[in-house]
């Protein structure tokens, strides 16, 4: 299980710490979801996930405002007793004295934000999903080709890095070489990046390490990229039948998500970089509703019917 510190979320969303103690409270967050404790303030704690960040918006604030001091004190103490990671008061609303009292008593940071409640929840959930996403590091290359994230896989020495370098020379962008860290941020989206230690470097056998950013400029690199297509490089096998039409798509599973995969046989004379460019454009066309193989089959069937 991954986690982010309260210091990170405070810095990301420019939150202000209202409780006493350190300016940057200690503690970690391990859940991507955010909770508005309206039902809890009304006394319903069944199925309450106390590990989530608790957000106070105008609805919760107005409810607390209508309670008398004793009832408000009892209500808030019960919430803070559950050891919530923190409480964020949105819209720049002034905290009730009881919030600060119980925050200090139970070690729960009370934070303030000027953000609209709905906007803060949406942005914080999106950010937490990325930070806490399941992840895996695999051996491969990730490049941005015409806006499509192409993950190039294959055995060591087959030419992945050389292909990436040629794509960079042709105006595309390198995300990662050798090690690709993949995060599953949703059921449909995988985000790839490079470990910071080797970011922007490519290893070329016979030459050594080159720095893509220094050689080709910042326009040749990218920090993160969604993974839209997997290209698996294979040595040409004359005994194998390769797909020549592309009517049926192959898929690869990564962290539970499926991604379209093209197996590309490699032999002397084949320009792998141009093949990757063509695969990226063809994949984008399919997403936009045009399938060249299907169009050819329909044309062939129409001609046969006319004959």
Angle, to 10 degrees, between the axis of helix 117-131 and the axis of helix 6-13? Answer: 130
CA–CA separation, 301 and 296 (whole Å): 9
- CB burial of residue 123 (10 Å; 0-12, 13-18, 19+): middle
Q: Give catalytic residue positions.
A: 139, 160, 178, 244
For 118-163, the three-class secondary structure string (H helix, E strand, C coil) is: HHHHHHHHHHHHHHCCCEEEEEEEEEEECCEEEEEEECCCCCHHHH
Residues near 283 by Cβ (< 8 Å), separated by ≥ 6?
148, 228, 229, 260
First and final C-alpha spacing in the chain: 64
Q: To 5 degrees, how large is the angle CA 135–CA 121–CA 92?
A: 135
* φ, ψ (nearest 5 deg) of residue 5: -85, 160
């Amino acid at each position: 299980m991954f986690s982010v510190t309260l210091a990170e979320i405070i810095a990301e969303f420019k939150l202000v710490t209202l409780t006493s103690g350190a300016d940057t409270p200690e503690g970690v967050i391990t859940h991507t979801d955010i909770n508005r404790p309206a039902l809890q303030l009304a006394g319903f704690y069944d199925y309450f996930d106390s590990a989530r960040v608790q957000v106070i918006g105008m609805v919760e604030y107005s409810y607390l405002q209508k309670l008398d001091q004793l009832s408000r004190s009892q209500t808030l103490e019960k919430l803070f007793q559950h050891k919530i990671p923190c409480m964020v008061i949105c819209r720049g609303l002034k905290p009730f004295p009881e919030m600060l009292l119980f925050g200090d008593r139970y070690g729960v940071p009370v934070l303030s934000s000027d953000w609209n409640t709905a906007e803060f929840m949406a942005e914080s959930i999106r950010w937490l999903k990325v930070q806490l996403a399941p992840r895996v590091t695999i051996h491969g290359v990730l490049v941005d080709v015409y806006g499509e994230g192409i993950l190039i896989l294959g055995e060591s020495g087959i030419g992945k890095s050389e292909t990436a370098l040629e794509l960079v020379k042709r105006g595309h962008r390198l995300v990662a070489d050798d090690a690709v860290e993949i995060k599953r941020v949703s059921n449909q989206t995988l985000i790839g990046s490079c470990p910071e230690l080797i970011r922007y470097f490519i290893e070329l056998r016979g030459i050594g390490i080159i720095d893509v950013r220094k050689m080709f400029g910042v326009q040749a690199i990218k920090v993160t990229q969604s993974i839209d297509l997997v290209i698996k490089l294979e040595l040409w096998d004359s005994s194998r039948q390769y797909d020549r039409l592309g009517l049926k798509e192959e898929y690869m599973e990564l962290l539970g998500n499926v991604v379209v995969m093209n197996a590309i046989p490699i032999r002397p004379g084949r320009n792998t970089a141009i093949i990757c460019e063509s695969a990226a454009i063809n994949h984008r066309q399919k997403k936009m509703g045009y399938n060249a193989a299907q169009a050819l089959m329909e044309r062939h069937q129409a001609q046969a019917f006319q004959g």
